[in-house]
Structure 1
Amino acid sequence: MRDKKPELSLFKRYTIAALAFTATAIVFAIAIVLSPLFVLFYIGYNVFNNIKNKGNVSSNPWASKSSVSLSHSKIS
């Protein structure tokens, strides 16, 4: 019979758990810090486009000016 793999010491197990917890906390902290920046960028881009185009832009900054809204299309 083969011997079982040697178990990790308690110190190593807790170290691995602490590193995993720390890495997860860092990822969440970065996400929490960056998510409002994306919202501010979206709003800022929209405001800049409205100023640049004198209000001739839709509320969606990624839509081109030539896009036709669904209410005017003949899909019905």
Structure 2
Amino acid sequence: MSQKIVVGSLVKLRSGSPWLTVTDDKPAGGAKKVGVTWFDGAAVSTGVFPKDALDVKEEAEGAASVPAAEKAGRKKAPEAGDAAE
């Protein structure tokens, strides 16, 4: 494992899985585990897995410089201080 796993990291089980988002890097299970969330169809699923069972998505594998909402053609929500259109 070359990257540190932190909240927001994208990981996969080494045995195979969809991409999982790390939502808890200090779960009750101990320091060697992480809590993750993923979509199973339309349902949101959660789990806790050992860090050693996970591979971290490298930045070059899918890091987007454009936020996903803009990439999909949707306007991003205005931020505080933005002028109204």
The verdict on a shared fold, with TM-score over 0.5 as the criterion, is: no
Specify which structure has the higher proportion of strand. 2
Higher relative contact order (CA 8 A, sep 6+): 2
Specify which structure has the higher proportion of helix. 1
TM-score for the superposition, normalised by structure 2: 0.23
